């Protein structure tokens, strides 16, 4: 268990970051958040602001001084800050690059200069690009399909170089379609599951891009928290400088996912059973099929995800229904 540590969580006001904040505050750690609230929400961390072991630094990872200030005296960095979304990166590659690459490099430099012992960062399954191989294995990637994918791959390259050159204990976690409580269902770049839940809850037909035959390895937030904790406390030298898939290891067809969401919600509100599904054009830059091998994370980190997609989905739907 990760406890009695000084932990910096960048992007801690975001979906994943705020869940990490909650968990590690509850385990008697001292948690600092660095966030500029470009995509993060103050409401995600509002309940922690009065906590004696919580510190908020409103700053930007694109500013090296902010990174140096935030990393001072920390034991562990959980780097979640990034501009997510493939479509956003296609619309605005420059800002995506500035945040995801320049900001990442600033954090590595700050970690090195302030001698922070452990740097765990959020990587992405988008790095697999046009690779057709299934399941996705860490050492076998394809060509990137979007500016976002390029930035996340460059992060991995920089992390490995800093591990090799400066001896940083760096571990990357390639997230596969994470979902769960506090994930924003609104906006042009909202993730699929919260968007589908919100649409059905409002009796509005959700839209699938393409014919719905694409597959995803959806990963519930609890599995991601577990992976971060394992990476933060790992003692196996073979894990250092490595990147690991973080998923459940099962794929679901998008059509089946949407039908399952409708079915679960219909158990709460019968009218939702009549809501139809809309289909639109495919999105450029999207990966068609996704399924992770989690063997490497199991072997070197002891990763053992407890939440299947369906179990996590039922929990998430309860949360969204309560907070709609």
**Cα separation, 249 vs 57, whole angstroms:** 36
Give the containing element (helix H, strand E) for 106: helix 103-113
The pair of structure tokens assigned to 266 is 């219909």
Catalytic status, residue 148: yes
**Whether the Cβ atoms of residue 98 and residue 202 lie closer than 8 Å to each other:** no
In order of 40, 93, 106, 120, 143, the CA distances from 60 in angstroms are 12, 18, 10, 18, 30
**Whether the Cβ atoms of residue 224 and residue 211 lie closer than 8 Å to each other:** no
Rg from Cα positions in the chain? 19
The pair of structure tokens assigned to 200 is 């059905």
The pair of structure tokens assigned to 35 is 């966030």
**Cα separation, 223 vs 177, whole angstroms:** 12
Return the ∠ at Cα 296 (arms to 3 and 89), rounded to 5°. Answer: 85
Query: Could you tell me which residues come within 8 angstroms of residue 161 by beta carbon, excluding any fewer than 6 positions away?
Result: none
Chain CA centroid to CA 240, Å: 20
Which one of 121, 148, 220, 307 is the catalytic residue? 148
Q: How many CA atoms lie within 13 A of 293 on its CB side?
A: 14
SS3 category, 221:
helix
**Whether the Cβ atoms of residue 244 and residue 228 lie closer than 8 Å to each other:** no
Tokens 């995803």 correspond to 216
- Which residues are the active-site residues? 148
């Amino acid at each position: 268990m990760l406890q009695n540590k000084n932990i910096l969580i960048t992007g801690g006001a975001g979906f994943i970051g705020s869940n990490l904040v909650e968990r590690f505050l509850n385990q008697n750690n001292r948690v600092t958040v660095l966030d500029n609230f470009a995509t993060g929400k103050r409401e995600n961390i509002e309940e922690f602001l009065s906590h004696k072991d919580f510190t908020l630094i409103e700053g930007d990872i694109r500013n090296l001084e902010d990174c140096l200030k935030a990393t001072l005296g920390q034991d562990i960095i959980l780097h979640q800050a990034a501009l997510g979304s493939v479509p956003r990166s296609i619309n605005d590659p420059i800002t995506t690059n500035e945040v995801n690459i320049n900001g990442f490099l600033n954090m590595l430099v700050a970690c090195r200069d302030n001698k922070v012992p452990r740097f765990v960062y959020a990587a992405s399954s988008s790095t697999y690009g046009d690779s057709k191989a299934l399941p996705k294995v860490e050492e076998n990637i394809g060509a990137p399909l979007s500016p976002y994918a390029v930035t996340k791959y460059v992060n991995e390259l920089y992390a490995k170089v800093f591990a090799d050159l400066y001896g940083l204990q760096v571990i990357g976690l390639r997230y596969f379609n994470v979902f769960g409580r506090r994930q924003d269902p609104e906006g042009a770049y909202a993730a699929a599951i919260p968007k589908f839940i919100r649409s059905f809850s409002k009796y509005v037909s959700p839209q699938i891009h393409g014919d719905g035959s694409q597959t995803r390895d959806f990963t519930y937030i609890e599995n991601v928290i577990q992976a971060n904790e394992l990476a933060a406390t790992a003692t196996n030298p073979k894990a250092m400088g490595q990147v690991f898939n973080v998923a459940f290891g099962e794929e679901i067809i998008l059509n089946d996912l949407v039908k399952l969401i409708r079915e679960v919600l219909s158990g709460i509100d019968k009218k939702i059973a009549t809501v139809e599904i809309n289909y639109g054009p495919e999105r450029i830059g999207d990966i068609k099929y996704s399924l992770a091998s989690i063997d490497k994370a199991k072997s070197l980190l002891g990763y053992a995800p407890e939440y299947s997609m369906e179990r996590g989905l039922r929990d998430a739907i309860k949360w969204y229904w309560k907070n709609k």
